[in-house]
Amino acid sequence: MASKSFYAIISGAGSGTGRAAAVRFAQAYPVVLLARKPESYNAIVDEIKQAGGQAFGITADATDEAAVNAAFETIKKELPGSKLAAAIYNVNGGFARKPFLELKREELDASLDAAPKGFFTFAQKTLPLLLDSVSDSPHPPSLIITGATASIKGSALFGSFAAGKFALRALGQSLAREFGPKGVHVSHAIIDGGIDTPWGKSFVANGGVEDGKISPDAIAETYWHLHTQHRSAFTQEIDIRPYVEKF
């Protein structure tokens, strides 16, 4: 039975990982899905409801401070009295693979908007709510961040994307060190491999070998584990990759 007095929120719901996390956390909490377009969350909301869970979506661009503010006002009305147990920042954007001298400054901006800037706004909104849940939430209130290979390696041709992801990791580390002692679990996952999504079937990873792409459900299962870790045993950073991935 899902706890009705705590909820989870997922920013960037419209990806494979976003959907899977929503479905997994909906086994325990009502789930709020933030995405730029309703098409990104409508089907997920339906899926959760049909499985007996509770969910609703809000259209908001993570990089738009006013839109994110409005989203949290909506949540207050939709889930009166409910407290935040888990917040997942899963926004992608600013991906570009090209020679540095062909990059436009807008492409760097897009990466910084989607990663450190969008997360900054999301974290400033959610951390006070998570702090408020420390005393009574079923598990340590959690802020989980989706990173990538580019969070720890600036590969050739991936400079602008890596800039955003490195910056996002920096913020996550800093928040873990500041808010961990206050009881909030800030965790950063390095997703190191292609993700197996319905719309990404044409992308072949690891020679097309079975399970050569990461199952979003498996990521979600690890996110749930992070959320349920005892506060004496928090994980700050975890890597997730297919068994066949080179690293």
Pairing mode, strands 55-59 and 6-11: unpaired
Nearer to a copy of itself, 85 or 219 (CB): 219
CB of 86 to a copy of itself, least distance (A): 16
Structural element, H or E, at residue 189 = strand 185-191
Determine contact, residues 89/145, Cβ cutoff 8 Å. Answer: yes
* Beta carbon of residue 49, minimum distance to a copy of itself (angstroms, whole number): 26
Shortest approach of a copy of itself to residue 32 CB, angstroms?
21
When the beta carbons of 36 and 165 are compared against a copy of itself, the nearer one is 165
Whole-angstrom distance, CA of residue 176 vs CA of residue 101: 36
Nearer to a copy of itself, 41 or 72 (CB): 72
AA identity, residue 167:
A
Considering the complex, what minimum distance in angstroms separates the CB of residue 56 from a copy of itself? 27
Beta-carbon contacts of 135 under 8 Å, excluding residues fewer than 6 positions away, are none
CA–CA distance, 195 with 17 (Å, rounded to integer): 8
79 vs 162, beta carbon nearer a copy of itself: 162
